[in-house]
Chains A and B, each alone.
Chain A
Amino acid sequence: MEEAELRALIEDVRTEKLPRRSFIERLVGLGLTAPMASMLLMHAGVANSQPAPVYKGTKRGGGGALKTLWWQGPTLLQPHFAGGTKDQEGSRVFYEPLAIWDNDGNLVPILAAEIPTTANGGLLEGGKVVRWRLKKGVTWHDGKPFTADDVVFTWEFVRDPAAACVTIAVYKDVTVTKVDDYTVLVSFKKPTPFWATSFVAAEGMIIPKHLFSPYVGAKSRDAPTNLKPVGTGPYTFVDFKPGDIVLGAANKNYHMPNRPFFDTIEMKGGGDATSAARAVLQTGEYDYAWNLQVEDEVLKRMEAGGKGKVHVVPGGDIEFIQVNITDPWNEVEGERGSVKSKHFAFSDPKVREAMSLLCDKKSMQEFIYGRTGFATANFMNNPERFRSKNTKWEFNIDKANALLDAAGWKRGADGIREKGGKKMKFVYQTSINPTRQKEQAIVKQAAQKAGIDLELKSVSASVFFSSDVANPDTYGKFWADMQMYTTNMTAPDAERFMDQFISSEVSQKANKWNFRNISRYVNPEYDKLAESAKSELDPVKRAATYIKMNDMVVNDFVIIPLISRPRVRGGNLKLVTTLSGWDLDFSALQNWYRESSPG
């Protein structure tokens, strides 16, 4: 989609010719995130839609216990040390950010009094400064008032490199200043179209100054509050055993009326996804289960138990194959997979295209994922129900054969193609996971018919995804011809996500294979686009650029997007949740309740 088209669409929404929801759906179809699309509208002066969460609770408490299963239990409850989402979710029960993303990409205020807009004077100096007004009358669980000092302190705490906070990227380049007790300014070095990063969603949780101020920098690990969180959230802390259980009780002084509904909350960890699904869907022992990576077939059988149902929430996770365009087998200038080297087959785009034609995404969706995955052509996420009709992907063995023939790869006596004495034998690696091994098998079968011999390799996930420099099997080194994994588009903005293909981010020996361009794609044109997007002030132009960049990597076949994986959760039939694919499961925990009769 071109910039002009995009502008016309926004205008249509503004004049109410096009419903806001359809606009967001179209942009998501082009590979943008819903929050990004929503930001475009906000910038154009179209107000957030007010998705009234139909909360039916009439009084605080009285709802009994909310029992949730997290098969990987939270291991720490400091939101800024959180190694993974499980820890962020655990922290989110107690801590809150200024605002969250709902499922339509709306920014919804939590600790903020309102969402900053140009109209209410929240966006100043042409996008360089954001003014947040804070909600008044909010107290921490220990009774101390929540003020601008806490917000400023959170920024100071996180940006200190000695504290090694995982959220540092969001805070290190901004400046936060206090205007009065209930107003803060977040200033960026340059105009920033996507400003809703600090103090928003999973990485934006505010921590109390009065409890953390003696423990900043290297001392941060010693803070007793790390284990006994004191936040502003709907539930107060009761007990925590790392990796096992988090217990909370209703916050009697919560700042939203009639909330929370439940008297207590429990997050139980341990076990595996299948038995978690069973405890919610089949026996009803628990109310809610996180991340049910279980075959849809099994889930359906459990749902027949009649106790719970599966929630499928579209999000930004993509299962994809990376094709190695460098030589992973021979050392060039002292390293395997050097950017200076060329892959014997995949350096030819036609071969890469043939490979992509051999990925039977439809079978993967039908036979492996069911409701829990959608075949996709885009790298930036793309749930099926929003899919634009313009993007396409194909599974076509004949076409792949023709392409390979034309590229000079002739079949040998054993049916394997060869050219210049090199046989078309590829190593295709991924992490150990039953679903992935099935996907590998599907690709291998098709490849065989095209005269390509795939050697399937699977590496234990804890090794594959580690940054261990000494290990040859990490995904960062990518010492194989193809590899497959899921990348999580956790940030609602595409900037960091699309960094994965800039040449300065190439993962190699010099940076201990720690950088993000793992496919080692080098394309000056892409770099130029990425650079221009970064400094682009106009959000519409910027969005158009990201769409172009997405097309570029997909059409160059350096990656083969396979399956867009929505979030799969299990919930009791009576439990009403407010889930968002762009934020944490618990982002709107205060609105969860149980219906008195099955709905």
Chain B
Amino acid sequence: MGHYLLRRLLTVVPAVLGISVVLFAVLALAPGDPFAEMALNPNVPPEVQENLRKQFGLDDPIWQRYFRWLLAMLHGDWGFSFISRVDVDTLIWSRLPVTLAVIGASQVLALMIALPVGIYSAARPYSWFDRIASTLAFVGFSLPTFFTGLLFILLFSIKLDWLPFVYRADLAATGAEWWVQQFRQSIMPIMVLALFQAAGWTRYVRSATLDVIRLDYVTTARSKGLKERSVILKHVARNAMIPVVTLVALNMPAVFGGAVITEQIFRVPGIGSLLIDAIQRNDTPVVMAVTFVSACLVILFNLIADILYGWLDPRISFR
């Protein structure tokens, strides 16, 4: 186990370096620069742009810029945003809580929907419940989030006037009032994301459970006279959950990365909207930091998923 972990960690280093090179190269080769807004303003002399290019080191060759970035990164210096001239880590930290809360809540909600529905459907395949659940699941993951988001706004904000559609990270209220307002403004983005995610996961849980439910040991458990409830929960669900755990673990980096489109629709000031703004304005240090951290998290959670897998399923050994 120790050896396995060490070997995996060693392979992470070149992978992370490779990712950073690719990301940096793509960003450097992408057209545009962060000064588009200034260019249109006749009062900003071109010298200012040139001066800023020089200050930000945009005129240096790509490889020089890359090594400068890498070196700073190793020192824990993430650089600063070309647009707001604020340190990148400050920007990310200011956006992270919102993303964790909204995306995190939606993932938990999605699991809370997907697990019972998926398992129950598998326990009674082709029953009415299963058919309805399957139909809804297909509808759920065929509808893109930007569509359901707009639909929700149209229904709950405009037609019914129940919920606000602009999300605010700084609510003026305190105490119970704060929770009420927070609930009202978060429910739509959370539901949009949760329903989409739950739809996919339900199908997955169902098929994973179906795989297990037909195995001999389940029949044995039943013939021992165990109650159906404990057969499903203790014997079937536990084993069926092994692949699901991997799937969920692999999805965790998304909690950091945010949901670009949903965040844009509801004006949720999360990592996703930070990333899209940064991309649109060619704010390389921010794009680099967000994408790089996401990539690292993917690698990390892959590793965690593999270890979890072995822990849950003793038949798998690490060598």
A169 touches B32 (CB 8 A): no
Q: How many residues of chain B have a CB within 8 Å of chain A?
A: 55
State whether the Cβ of B164 lies closer than 8 Å to any Cβ in chain A: yes
A465 touches B172 (CB 8 A): no
A496–B46 alpha-carbon span in the complex (Å)? 13
Question: Which residues 435-451 in A have Cβ within 8 Å of B in the complex?
Answer: none
With A268-B168, A271-B265, A471-B32 as known contacts, state yes or no: A243 contacts B49, CB within 8 Å: no
The smallest beta-carbon distance between B273 and chain A, in angstroms, is 6
Question: Which residues 179-209 in B have Cβ within 8 Å of A in the complex?
Answer: none
Q: How many residues of chain A have a CB within 8 Å of chain B?
A: 71
A275–B161 alpha-carbon span in the complex (Å)? 15
Minimal Cβ-Cβ distance residue in B for A244:
B269
State whether the Cβ of B158 lies closer than 8 Å to any Cβ in chain A: yes
Interface-facing stretch out of B50-58, B112-120, B234-242, B247-255: B50-58
A309–B101 alpha-carbon span in the complex (Å)? 35
A227–B53 alpha-carbon span in the complex (Å)? 22
Minimal Cβ-Cβ distance residue in A for B45:
A169
Minimal Cβ-Cβ distance residue in B for A226:
B85
Contact with B along A282-294 (1 / 0, CB 8 A): 1101100000000
State whether the Cβ of A491 lies closer than 8 Å to any Cβ in chain B: yes
A272–B80 alpha-carbon span in the complex (Å)? 26
A169–B277 alpha-carbon span in the complex (Å)? 28
Question: Which residues 240-293 in A have Cβ within 8 Å of B in the complex?
Answer: 241-245, 247, 264, 266, 268-272, 275, 278-279, 282-283, 285-286
A485–B158 alpha-carbon span in the complex (Å)? 34
The smallest beta-carbon distance between B81 and chain A, in angstroms, is 7
Interface-facing stretch out of A509-517, A566-574, A591-599: A509-517
Residue numbers in A under 8 Å from B38 (CB-CB): 83-84, 166
State whether the Cβ of B317 lies closer than 8 Å to any Cβ in chain A: no
Residue numbers in A under 8 Å from B302 (CB-CB): none
The smallest beta-carbon distance between B19 and chain A, in angstroms, is 24
A466 touches B36 (CB 8 A): yes
State whether the Cβ of B259 lies closer than 8 Å to any Cβ in chain A: no
State whether the Cβ of A476 lies closer than 8 Å to any Cβ in chain B: yes
A275 touches B265 (CB 8 A): yes
Residue numbers in A under 8 Å from B33 (CB-CB): 466-468
The smallest beta-carbon distance between A512 and chain B, in angstroms, is 8
Question: Which residues 445-493 in A have Cβ within 8 Å of B in the complex?
Answer: 460-468, 470-471, 473, 476, 485-491
Q: Determine which of B36, B40, B52, B153 lies in contact with A164 in the assembled complex, contact meaning CB atoms within 8 Å.
A: B52
| Residues of B bordering A, CB below 8 Å | 31-33, 35-53, 55, 80-81, 83-86, 91, 94-95, 153, 157-158, 161, 164-166, 168-170, 172, 263-265, 267-269, 273-274, 277, 280-282
Given contacts A166-B48, A221-B85, list 9 more A-B pairs with CB under 8 A: A164-B51, A242-B84, A244-B269, A271-B264, A285-B166, A462-B36, A467-B49, A496-B42, A512-B50
10 example contacts (A-B, Cβ-Cβ < 8 A) are as follows A83-B83, A221-B85, A239-B170, A241-B169, A271-B267, A282-B158, A283-B157, A473-B31, A486-B40, A491-B43
